[in-house]
Amino acid sequence: MKISISFLELIFKEPAGTSRGILKTKPSWFIEVSADGKIGKGEISIIPGLSMEYADKNSFERKINQVANIFRQFPVWDWMLDKSSFTFIPLIEKELANFPSIRMGFEMAYFNWFNEHGNFFLKSHAFSRMHIPINGLVWMGAIPTMRLRMREKIAEGFTTVKMKIGSLDWNSEKELLTELRNQFAPAELTIRVDANGAFEIEKIEEILHYLKLLNVHSIEQPLAKGSIEETARLQDLGLVDIAIDEELIGIECEEDMFSLLEKIKVTFIVLKPSIHGGFKGTKKWISCAEKLGMGWWITSALESSCGLQAIAEFTEQFSVKIPQGLGTGAIYQNNLPSNLVVNSGYLKAQK
């Protein structure tokens, strides 16, 4: 068995604006496992400033190679104890603790190698029928640029649009959201907003009151991570449904997952496998949320088409009904070849 690691700096076609700044590039590492005449590929995707496991490129690469050396000690078919729960053998589990993106990369490589059809989680016939509703994402940017992007999403057939907010003056963002709602009634267009923890506690209630007037579906992570009691209070106000994602980062024990969700009592959780414990952690979060009657959706963490296909196949297994936060990697100049296409607000397999 051979394991090789390669690096690719993904280059955005246009700068991607977030509340943490402007992204022009994003690092990804790729794993290739070869054994018994078969190859398995996986992607390790991180977002600097958001992925807690990442400090700098050199130390992170050392960790990837350290983990790869552990995997090399075992035949690939012996890596995993339980495929349904994504549980590796104990020595590997110990090495992967608190490194969700590395976990996801090796989960992908294992299942890609294991699947005789060359996919990750779906058989060929199931992959060809994949039909996942997704939201159109409008990145932060200058108001004219965001207005243009919103119009493009509507023209492309999206009926749910998610707008990143929190980096500009709120009054400017409010005007843009108002303009969108004036053009499209709630029955025609669902609006989600994602604050990435950008708002202060003193201002957020006023913002929620306005979002309610616009019939906004939900606001994602309105307050910074760690604001558990305050976020629970916002949910109790009943103005706009609250979703959280950054709040979930760094929790791997299922009891701790359940305890957090029981305290914060939001309507939705938003899951990024490469940040929220790989596919194993994502499955545990879904289980906890469903026990508490919470909704959820899965989104990507700026993966290339390789990671996006694996996330899409994983998501398709749940027969989701509400729009997810997935795509094809078309935001990159140097994206890898993709088997995915977006058509009228649905993610599908390319034919």
Q: Is the dihedral of CA 204, 209, 210, 212 positive or negative?
A: positive
> Angle, nearest 10°, between helix axes 57-71 and 100-114?
40
Is residue 38 part of the annotated active site? The answer reads: no
**Can you point out the beta strands (E) in 37-79?**
38-45
Residue 139 to residues 80, 144, 161, 167, Cα–Cα distance (Å): 38, 12, 11, 10
Is residue 174 part of the annotated active site? The answer reads: no
Please state, in angstroms and rounded to a whole number, the distance separating the CA atoms of residues 175 and 236: 26
Query: Is 336:304 a contact under the CB 8 Å cutoff?
Result: yes
Q: Considering only CA atoms, which of 299, 298, 288, 297 is closest in space to residue 265?
A: 288
- Of 26, 164, 280, 348, the catalytic one is 164
Q: What is the pTM of this model?
A: 0.95
**Could you tell me the residue ranges of all domains in the chain?**
2-114, 124-349
CA angle in degrees (0–180, nearest 5) for 342-11-30: 85
Q: Considering only CA atoms, which of 60, 44, 50 is closest in space to residue 3?
A: 44
The CB density around residue 66, as the number of other CB atoms within 10 Å, is: 12
Q: Domain spanning 124-349: which superfamily?
A: Enolase-like C-terminal domain (3.20.20.120)
Question: CA 220 from chain center: how many Å?
Answer: 12
Please state, in angstroms and rounded to a whole number, the distance separating the CA atoms of residues 333 and 266: 37
| pLDDT beneath 50, residues of the chain | none
Q: Is 346 exposed, middle or buried (0-12, 13-18, 19+ CB in 10 A)?
A: middle
Which helix (H) or strand (E) covers residue 324, if one does? none
What number of CA atoms fall less than 13 Å from residue 174's CA on the CB side?
12
Which helix (H) or strand (E) covers residue 147, if one does? helix 143-155
Question: CA 35 from chain center: how many Å?
Answer: 30
Token pair recorded at residue 252: 């791997």
Please state, in angstroms and rounded to a whole number, the distance separating the CA atoms of residues 254 and 236: 25
Quote the pLDDT of residue 18.
Answer: 64
- Of 272, 280, 283, 348, the catalytic one is 272
Query: Is CATH 3.50.50.60 the classification given to domain 2-114?
Result: no
Q: Considering only CA atoms, which of 332, 279, 340 is closest in space to residue 308?
A: 340
